[in-house]
Structures are given as C-alpha cells and as structure tokens.
Amino acid sequence: MLWALSIEAKNDVAVDAANFIGCAKNATMDWDYGYDYVEPPVVGSYISMYFPHSDWALNAKKYTTDFRSVENGHVWDFEVTANSSDREIKLLFRKVVKVPLSLSMNLVDVEANISIDLQRDSTYSFWLSHKDAVRHFKIFAGDVEFMEDHKNDLPGEPTTFELVQNYPNPFNSSTMILYELKETTQVKLGIYNLLAQQVRLLYNGMQGKGFHQFRWDGRDENGWELGTGIYILRLETPAYTSTRKMIFMR
C-alpha cells in the first residue's frame, strides 16, 4: 500500500516541519534519489528531527525523509534534538497521502518507554533534559501480521499504578517526571520539602489510563527558584500512593 506521513517537531521558538515517512513505488530500504533528502544544517535557535542513516550511500548521516518499499510493515528510527532543554517539544503527525485504517501505526518514545497509537493520537509532547540532549523514537507501521510479529517490541499498556524515578536525578535545571495509571482515576501530583510542606502542585484532577509525564523546573507555586536540597515527589490516587526523592542542585 502507498502512504505518507509528515512529522513536525516544534517548540515555542523553532520548528522543523519538512519530515516524511511512508511507502512509495520504486523506493527501497536504502537511499533513493528523489525520495530521501538530507537534513539541512542547524542555525540559531533550532529544533531538529531527523532519521539517522550512517549506512546509506551518501556521506550524510541525517535525513529529513525516509521512504521505504511497499511491504507489510517497517520500523523507522528517528531522533529529536534542540539547543534549549527548558521548552516543551511537540511532535505533530499528519497523513499526507491517505493512510489506510487497516494500517497500524505506533510511536514509541524509547527513553520514556511509552507507546502511542498514531491512528488515534496525532500529537505527542515531551521535554529534553540537559543530561539527554537527544530523544530517540521509533515508528512501527504495518498490517495486523506485522504488528503481531513486533508486539514484544512495543511497550505494553499500563497494568498497574507506578511512579517512576524522575530523570535526571540529581538535576540543576529541570527534571522529567513519569508515571503510569492502570485506569482512569483522580490524581494529585505534588512536590514537598522535607518538612512535608507542599511547594508545588503539578496536577490535581481526573486523568485517563496510560502514561503521563511532567517537567519540573525547580520552582515553587509563585515561580521562585527553590534552594539546593532534597524534595519529595508524591503521587496520590484513591487506590495508590507513592513517593520519590529528588535532589535539586542549583
């Protein structure tokens, strides 16, 4: 089947929009003239989303498009980087050439171990950290048989409640917080000092089943930067409570 998907990466100061994957007539698994184009060099405030291919015939290692042969499925690897780690990054997926409903498409955030159904959700947000300047992703796209063959390569849906250790930790600018919910439930996510005083409420309300992430920049409710020390991350639901220690170093 012939299809194409565009991928746009953006934050509030930069955008990288001309990225495409898909299956096309006469395309191969290697570099193809007229299909696969080199990622342009970055300048100024930038965000860059690219497909790494150091094994292709050209001298370039990064590409902005990656079209493949028409088969029952493929796995695309891509990376996202930016020269600012304190801004939310959004990935937007748009169907350029009609993608059949029979084609399953899953985005995998490798670092967060999250899988997103791209036939259902067309956006995904994340933050880079100073420790991890590059974020790695995979897209699995194929028919039922292909997806069944790769089901063990995809992160499963949450089957429990879990608060994952923040990363990086210790941190000196911002840190990522990730947790999973096995069902839709009331959630309170807060940060406390060692006197058990709440210094920042990150979320309080209903959330759906799945994986969730937040970024904390070391500031309190009033926007003031807190001092160096140990802080407690606390996740509360009616059926589950968990805490993690976070070390903030200014």
Report pLDDT digits (tens) over 100-130: 878 999 999 998 788 888 988 899 988 886 6
Q: pTM of the full predicted structure?
A: 0.77
pLDDT of residue 136: 95
Compute φ and ψ for 102, nearest 5 degrees.
-75, -10
The neighbour count for residue 193, using CB atoms within 10 Å, is 16
Cα–chain-centroid distance for residue 6?
16
How are strands ordered across the β-sheet holding 229-237? 198-207, 185-192, 229-237, 240-248
Pairing relationship of beta strands 123-126 and 89-97 according to DSSP bridges: antiparallel
Query: CA nearest 233: which of 223, 221, 219, 247?
Result: 247
- Mean pLDDT across the chain, nearest whole number? 91
CB 217 within 8 A of CB 248: no
* Distance from C-alpha of 157 to C-alpha of 222, rounded to nearest angstrom: 36
108: tokens are 């995998």
Residue 156, pLDDT > 80, answer no
Q: Which pLDDT tens digit goes with each residue over 38-66?
A: 999 988 889 999 999 999 988 899 999 99
| Cα–Cα distance for residue pair 159/162, rounded to 1 Å | 9
What one-character DSSP code corresponds to residue 86?
S
Residue 53 · residue 31 · CB < 8 Å: yes
